[in-house]
Amino acid sequence: MKSIGYILLFLLPMMLMGQETAESKKAAKDFMTYYNEGKSHALYAKFDTVMKSHLPVPKIDEFYSALTSQFGKITGMEYLKNVDRSYHYKTTFDKGVLKFVVAVGEDGLIYGLIFQQYVPDNLPNLTRNSTSMKLPFNEEWTVFWGGETIEQNYHVAYNNQKYAYDFVMMKEGKTYEGDPKNAENYYAFGKEVIAPCDATVVEVISGVKDNVPGEMNPAELTGNTVILKTENNEYILLAHLKFNSIVVEEGQQVKTGEPLGQCGNSGNTTEPHLHVSLQNVQDMSIATGAKLYFDNIIVNGEVKTAYIPVKNDLIKNR
């Protein structure tokens, strides 16, 4: 997801829980009006002294440009809650929904504001898969990132990718042979990606070109992607697939082991690999990652059941 610009928040040293106030309601309404009309000077006039020093008009204009280019204009704001004199609003834009938090003093001046990803409070809780899983590939692969600690798996630090895996293929400690700028030289590139369980294809992203290794595409984060939904309402995301390789479509029922596409190098990736994660909801931007266990697989030459592969494991289906 792209950055949405400057994020500033200054809070008073107090703990207050309460309802929307007349001051906060007016501040939110004014922000929506000034934002939609591009009136940076009018917005600046609503800031207190400290806020003005941190976010002068040129920075407001830069913030505005970044936000409008990604999300468009604001179409509505719904009050959610008040915490520490900061008022939370579900803010609907032309091209998405964010949470707008504005800190307002009794004088009606804004002393802090922030935009965050809007995450509903009623999302389902998922800690691990209950559906039996195979590895989503044939042959032996290496776990580049995997496990339950940040040292083993950097994804752990990110709530929506928590416990996700990055899989590569290696020979003699290398993931490629020849020119590292040629994706075709990577052992994983073009390898078949298969369904790890019986599921429904609920989302397909295609048409994303593969990167030159070393170059990234953050605008299309997951690249060519397939998302599966199990009968237990678990969502499995398989990302960075090869351009034009996906062979399934949304709504299709797939069986364990059936082909989905091929490993590629599309999206925000530095080299060909397969990213796999388990989510509680379909939308990655608001999802919480969960632990994905695999059954009856061979890990470093030994059979494992209900296993979480960790960094540097050599793994394949039994």
The pLDDT of residue 3 is 33
The pLDDT of residue 70 is 87
Last residue of some domain: 117, 150, 175?
A: 117
177-182's contacts with Cβ under 8 Å and 24+ in sequence apart are: 180/213, 180/214, 180/271, 181/212, 181/213, 181/214, 182/213
**Strand extents, DSSP E, 206-252:** 224-229, 235-241
The pLDDT of residue 13 is 34
pLDDT tens string, the chain, 318 residues long: the values are 233 333 444 433 333 346 888 999 999 999 999 999 999 999 999 999 999 998 999 999 998 998 999 899 999 999 999 887 889 999 999 988 999 999 998 899 999 999 988 888 889 999 999 999 999 999 999 999 999 999 999 999 998 999 999 999 999 999 999 999 999 999 999 999 999 999 999 999 999 999 999 999 988 999 999 999 999 999 999 999 999 999 999 999 999 999 999 999 999 999 999 999 999 999 998 899 999 999 999 999 999 999 999 999 999 999
Domain contains 72: yes
Q: Is this structure's pTM higher than 0.85?
A: no
The pLDDT of residue 4 is 37
CATH code: domain of residue 45:
3.10.450.50
A 10 A CB-CB count for 309 gives 26
Coil/strand/helix, residue 18: strand
In the chain, how many domains are there?
Answer: 2
Domain contains 131: no
Side chain identity, residue 6 = Y
Last residue of some domain: 117, 151, 171?
A: 117
Write down the residue that tokens 């593969």 correspond to.
Answer: 210
The pLDDT of residue 121 is 81
CATH code: domain of residue 214:
2.70.70.10
Print burial letters for 273-297: b (CB count within 10 Å at least 16), e (below 16): bbbbbbbbbeebebbbbbebbbbeb
Same domain, 86 and 177: no
Domain contains 129: no
Pairwise CA distance, residues 100 & 7, whole Å = 11
Domain contains 5: no
Same domain, 177 and 297: yes
The whole domain housing 50 covers 17-117
Q: Tokens at residue 218, please? A: 């953050």
